[in-house]
Chains A and B, each alone.
Chain A
Amino acid sequence: MGAQELEQSSLLIPEVKSRKKRRDVHAGDRRFFWTLRAVALLILAVLIAIAVQLFLVSLPAIRHFGVGFVFSTDWNPVRNRFGAAAFVYGTVVSSVLAIAIAFPISLGVALFLNELAPRRLASAVGFLVEMLAAIPSVVYGLWGLFVVAPWLRTVFEPMMIRYFGFIPLFQGPPYGVGMFTAGVVLAIMITPTISAISREIFRAVPLSHREAALALGATRWETIRLGVLNSSRLGILGAVILGLGRALGETMAVTMVIGNRKDIALSLFAPAQTMASLLANEYAEASDDLHLSALATVGFLLFLVSFLINSLARFLVWRVESRQKEGAPR
């Protein structure tokens, strides 16, 4: 089996197929192959171990609370009552908020860089956008806490409350730290992800699509809409879902700007808590077994959701890229 695959995978010597030559010429090759494969499979083993281990630790809490765990908002370590609804809500709302802000911007950047900007400008701006991804999460948290949050509290939130206060989402006092701030900071953090993948998707669209639109007398924007956007919807969806996956799991920056309050407030400006920020806040201090188990359950849920979301996104992006590879690359 091993030797066969060794040969099959060798893109180099397709002729080595006769039975006689199938035996390894060099014994070292076989050992080398298996060592590499063993170490490589260790990576898979770690992934599986993470899932299994989390599940085992969370088992007591799952048995104790059942499905009600995700519907109850009562999280009280002192009384040993645990329900994660508030954190699930916080994670979902902050991530959706982040996508809502980041989606038009990252798509705009990607289109601008790929379709409009001169090459020099595109590579410079593209580099800057990529650097956004390199900034550590804790630095975003620091910046969010001391720059974004005060600005939102004194300028943006009062304005929204004044003009849109009739919508329950924008009622209540402007805290500065809270769900909305978390959404804004998350949006900044996922913009590079979404725009980088969108750019790759757009690059995979054959040049002939654009030329066809131009030949029909389309304007620049119409060319983009007809020749580029139309055929890359699935890929864009994949990019957005990938961004969502990043937003769901982001911990430090969110922990620092979301205000860490353990219940559901209707107002976006109120403090909240996400699953990840709950773990960052409580896990190191938890000593009670049930408390630890409940926290592990939150972690397991987070792992499961991010696994599903990322698999879906990979599938979408990969399908689009492999399908379009057949067309002329740009």
Chain B
Amino acid sequence: MNIRNQLAANDGRRRLKNQIMCAFLFLAAIVAIAPLVSVFVYVVQRGYQAMSWDFFTQLPAAVGSSGGGMANAITGTMVLVALASLIGVPVGICGGLYLSEFGANSKIASTLRFGVDILASVPSIIVGLFAYAVVVMPMKRPSALAGGFALAILMIPTVARTSEALLKLVPVHIREAGLALGIPRWKVIIFIVLRGSMGAIITGIMLGIARAAGETAPLLLTAAGSQHWSHGLDQPIASLPVQIYTFAISPYDEWQKQAWAGAFVLVLFVFVLNIGTRLIIKRPTIAKD
């Protein structure tokens, strides 16, 4: 009888503990997405308030006067991302191809895989220091080129790892079919594997661009910032993240409003890229066996 009571009490305790812990797990999920909701609501709300057509067409307004925009920063970010893609995309894709096609069991490939992971986790400000020493110092001034160089380094690991992972999804028998026809391996890789998984490659590029577009720290050191139009690739250039930073920490109300508008555009851009990649990956054209 006594044992029975004890068991019953024990059972109650276990059930209670179960309920408490399950509730905690549920709560954790809510707590985790609360900041996302908050960030999104604030960025959309405050950004939208400060948004106007001028934002996309005008240069930043001087202190004290209202209005103005970030036209130079938006184009600046486009230029920087384009420069970064020029270096980062080919190198990243070559890395991804090498790892997926020749990286099955070689020491060099596994070292490389490790290196790519480490490069992805190097703090972006450190990449900024590197680009500062390699490009800014010899040129004696911050420039769009230096900024593009830094962003390229940050982009490479993302492009390489994504394209590796997705290229590996191409079934082996497709490669075998090509080889069985006597097609050289390089042609099989380029014209069958690579072309067949264009979606994969584009996904990698989009994620790389999303990462590069939002980076701020390395640009502070390499591209600096500017309130004007850029006069050349060897000149300092404005960028959206740096402009947001400069305006956010300024004491002026008007500038802070502009910072929210900038954040709105940046978040929208990054989200569209990220959601776009998901749609591409989910598309059934990429075989999954």
Given A9-B109, A36-B97, A29-B125 contact (CB < 8 Å): no
Chain B residues lying within 8 Å of A220, measured Cβ to Cβ, are 18, 22
Interface assignment of B156: CB less than 8 Å from any CB of chain A: yes
A59 to chain B, nearest CB (A): 13
Is A64's CB within 8 Å of the partner chain B? no
Q: How far is the CA of A306 from the CA of B210 in the complex (A)?
A: 23
Q: Is the CB of A40 within 8 A of B94?
A: yes
State the Cβ distance, B33 to closest chain A Cβ, in Å. 5
Segment at the B interface, from A75-83, A139-147, A155-163: A139-147
Are B220 and A5 interface neighbours, CB within 8 A?
Answer: no
Query: In the docked arrangement, what's the CA distance between A37 and B106, Å?
Result: 12
Minimal beta-carbon separation of B265 from chain A (angstroms): 11
Q: What CA separation (Å) do A280 and B219 show in the bound complex?
A: 10
Given the complex, which residues of A lie within 8 Å of B214, measured CB to CB? 135-139
The 5 sampled A-B contact pairs (Cβ below 8 Å) are A47-B119, A139-B43, A249-B122, A255-B217, A310-B121
**Contact of A36 with B94 at beta-carbon distance under 8 Å, contacts A47-B118, A108-B27, A219-B14 already known:** yes
Q: Are A283 and B132 in contact (CB under 8 A)?
A: yes
Chain A 54-76 interface residues, beta-carbon cutoff 8 Å to B: 54, 57
- A251 on the interface (CB 8 Å rule)? yes
Give per-residue flags for B106-135: 1 if the beta carbon is below 8 A from chain A beta carbons, else 0: 101101101111110111111111101110
Which chain B residues border A90 with CB–CB below 8 Å?
A: none
The answer, yes or no, to whether B3 is at the interface (CB within 8 Å) is: no
Contact between B125 and A279 (Cβ–Cβ < 8 Å)? yes
Pick from A36, A108, A138: contact of B98, CB under 8 Å: A36
- Cα separation A144 to B260 with both chains bound (whole Å): 12
Distance (whole angstroms) from the CB of A322 to the closest CB of chain B: 12
Question: Which residues of chain B in 208-239 are interfacial with respect to chain A, using CB atoms and an 8 Å cutoff?
Answer: 210, 213-217, 220-221, 224
Dominant secondary structure at the A interface = helix
Which of chain B's residues have a CB closer than 8 A to the CB of A139?
39, 43, 214, 244, 263, 266-267
Assess the B160–A296 pair: CB atoms within 8 A. Answer: no
The reply to whether B32 and A191 form a contact with Cβ atoms under 8 Å apart is yes
Say yes or no: B115 contacts A116, CB within 8 Å: no
If A8-B106, A43-B156 touch, whether A138 touches B25 (CB-CB below 8 Å) is: no
Residue numbers of A with Cβ under 8 A of B are: 5-6, 8-13, 25-26, 28-29, 31-33, 35-37, 39-44, 46-47, 49-50, 53-54, 57, 104-109, 111-113, 115-117, 125, 127-132, 134-143, 145-147, 188, 191, 195, 219-222, 224, 242, 245-246, 248-252, 255-256, 276, 279-280, 283-284, 295-296, 299, 302-303, 306-307, 310-311, 314
The reply to whether B18 and A311 contact each other, CB–CB distance below 8 Å, is: no
Task: Provide the residues of chain B in CB contact with A252, threshold 8 Å.
Answer: 216-217, 241, 245
Is B248 on the interface with A (CB-CB < 8 A)? yes
Q: A104, A115, A137: which has the most chain B beta carbons within 10 Å? A: A137
Contact A29 B185 (CB under 8 A): yes
Q: Given A9-B102, A29-B185, A139-B244, A43 and B36 touching (CB < 8 A)?
A: no
Chain A residues near B14 (CB-CB < 8 A): 219, 222
Distance A47 CA – B176 CA, assembled complex (angstroms): 35
Report if B189 contacts A (CB, 8 A): yes
Task: Determine which residue in B43, B119, B121 has the highest number of CB atoms from chain A within 10 A of its CB, and name it.
Answer: B121
Within 172-188 of B, Cβ neighbours of A (below 8 Å) are at: 172, 175-176, 179, 184-187
Taking a contact as CB atoms under 8 Å apart, the answer to whether A13 and B179 are in contact is: yes
| A125 CB → nearest B CB, Å | 6
| Interface size range of chain B in the complex | 35 or more
Using A139-B43, A296-B129, A302-B126 as known contacts, list a sample of 16 further A-B pairs with CB atoms less than 8 Å apart, ordered by residue number in A: A8-B106, A12-B176, A12-B179, A39-B95, A41-B108, A44-B112, A108-B29, A116-B26, A127-B278, A138-B241, A138-B263, A143-B263, A256-B245, A283-B128, A306-B121, A307-B118
Q: In the complex, what residues of B have CB within 8 A of residue A195's CB?
A: 32
Instruction: Provide the B237-269 mask, 1 if CB < 8 A to any CB of A, else 0.
Output: 000010011001100000010011001001100
Q: Across the interface, do A39 and B91 meet the contact criterion of CB distance under 8 Å?
A: yes
Checking A28, A279, A310 against B117 with a beta-carbon cut-off of 8 angstroms, the contacting residue is A310
Q: Give the chain A neighbours of B26 by CB distance below 8 A.
A: 112, 116
B217-A136 in contact (CB<8A): no
In the bound complex, residues from chain B placing their C-beta under 8 Å from that of A44 are 111-112, 115
**Contacting pair B125 A251 (CB below 8 A):** yes
Cβ of B188 to closest chain A Cβ, rounded Å: 9
Query: B22 near A280 (CB under 8 angstroms)?
Result: no
The reply to whether B29 and A109 form a contact with Cβ atoms under 8 Å apart is yes
- Assess whether B5 is interfacial by the CB under 8 Å rule: no
